[in-house]
Amino acid sequence: MLKMLRPTDLNEDEQLQRRCRYLATAFGFGQGCCVNVYLSAGGYLGDKFQDKYFFVWMCAAVYITPLLIFALARRLDPYFDRHFGFRKVYQVRLAISMLLGALLVAGLIVPTLGAGGRASILTLGAAVGMVAGSVASASARCVLQF
């Protein structure tokens, strides 16, 4: 049996689609800035640790983590969308991305406290990559849904 759409349903869908595109643009800009700010310290930290390859390790930490997030999201997103509905799951995706972002901002203080060794800075890079991956995955899922 076909479900008849009311004109208000179409307007809500168009409005939701527009909002998703705005969110995807804003989150994409934010994640790009975050990755660039993290990587901009590569030269300084490489000199501080006397490691000419430290920037490469930083790039690996920040760019490999999103690949894992994308693979996990690709596998699990259809399951959760089917069981709980796209709108509810998208709100959870946004909330998790924002919580991860808040944890990342809190973690940015670690290198400034003098406790920032190589491992903590690379872990911070993996966290940046995880936030970037989750935000990109949620944004892409929202835009592709429509």
Do 110 and 125 form a contact (C-beta atoms < 8 A)? no
pLDDT category of residue 9 using cuts at 50, 70 and 90: very low
Calculate mean pLDDT across residues 27-44: 77
The helix/strand/coil state of 146 is coil
Instruction: Assign 55 a pLDDT band (cuts: 50, 70, 90).
Output: very high
Is the per-residue pLDDT at 21 higher than 80? no
Contact 146, 20 (CB under 8 A): yes
Predicted TM-score (pTM) of the model is: 0.69
Q: What is the DSSP letter of 49?
A: T
Mean pLDDT, to the nearest integer, of 131-138? 77
